[in-house]
Amino acid sequence: MKITIIGAGNMGGAIARGLAKSGTFTEDAITCTARSAATLEKLRGTNPGFNLLTDNVAAVNGADIVVLAVKPWLMQGVIEQIKFSFDPHKQIIVSVAAGISCSRLEEWLTAGMPWKGTYLPAIFRVIPNTAVEVLESMTFISAVREGIPQLQLVSHIFAKLGPVMVVPESQIAACTALASCGIAFAMRYIHASAQGGVEIGVKADDARKIVEHTLIGAAKLLLEKGAHPAAEIDKVTTPGGITIRGLNEMEHAGFTSAIIRGLKECVK
């Protein structure tokens, strides 16, 4: 099986490297395209076995799965470019672009094609986050229609790169806010907490490492025990203790409210 990733920038490149790292595809079965030679050279430096092209049409020929990882405002133009080489009998389209529905992708892909109305293309929206590169992405998948048989294959591939949830397309925006935007929110917490660590006397590198491992530990406690965050908070907030004082001060500054407001802003 062969996969082509059109648009091998930050997300497309991360998916390609994750697929190779997981062993899901051999490097020679992964084709990546980019408009910038510098982007392709960066990929060549990490994965010399990738097939690297600037020609999107050539990249689609022979692929079993075509991943569209270009910016949303470029998507229609790229689909118009490649659709005459797309074979709806044999190929699957996967879009990782935010904000473009499966129905819109199908509309662009089928417009003016002789097979329109005869064959229904297999189209999926797949929303990973950048942890896909280290096989820890929380990924969401929606299909263009119910009962599409290729869903199992797409789910199997992305499950090699971290946990996968198949969700209705109506939930994609909310899930994106929690996981794809959420990874940036988590990074901001790490950065802010490490800065605070420096202010209270810890070396910068040590502070960052402490915060990073603390977050890993917190996540593992919840995932492995199936516990509720509030229950785990109660275990470390002794009456009159320093933890509850710190939490309350954060709440006075709007900690929880800021998180919820940020998430709601992502889905407007």
Mean pLDDT along residues 38-50: 94
Which pLDDT belongs to residue 22?
Answer: 96
Which pLDDT belongs to residue 119?
Answer: 87
Percent of the chain at pLDDT exceeding 90: 96
Mean pLDDT along residues 236-240: 95
Which pLDDT belongs to residue 251?
Answer: 97
Mean pLDDT along residues 172-188: 96
Q: How confident is the model at residue 102 (pLDDT cuts 50, 70, 90)?
A: very high
Which pLDDT belongs to residue 172?
Answer: 96
Pairing state of beta strands 122-127 and 92-95? parallel
Q: Is pTM beyond 0.75 here?
A: yes
Q: How confident is the model at residue 45 (pLDDT cuts 50, 70, 90)?
A: very high
Which pLDDT belongs to residue 186?
Answer: 96
Each residue of 108-159: pLDDT tens digit? 999 999 999 888 999 999 999 999 999 999 999 999 999 999 999 999 999 9
Which pLDDT belongs to residue 99?
Answer: 92
Structural domains in the chain?
A: 3-167 (3.40.50.720), 175-266 (1.10.3730.10)
Percent of the chain at pLDDT exceeding 70: 100
Which pLDDT belongs to residue 80?
Answer: 96
Mean pLDDT of the chain: 96
Each residue of 190-215: pLDDT tens digit? 999 999 999 999 999 999 999 999 99
Which pLDDT belongs to residue 200?
Answer: 97
Which pLDDT belongs to residue 268?
Answer: 87
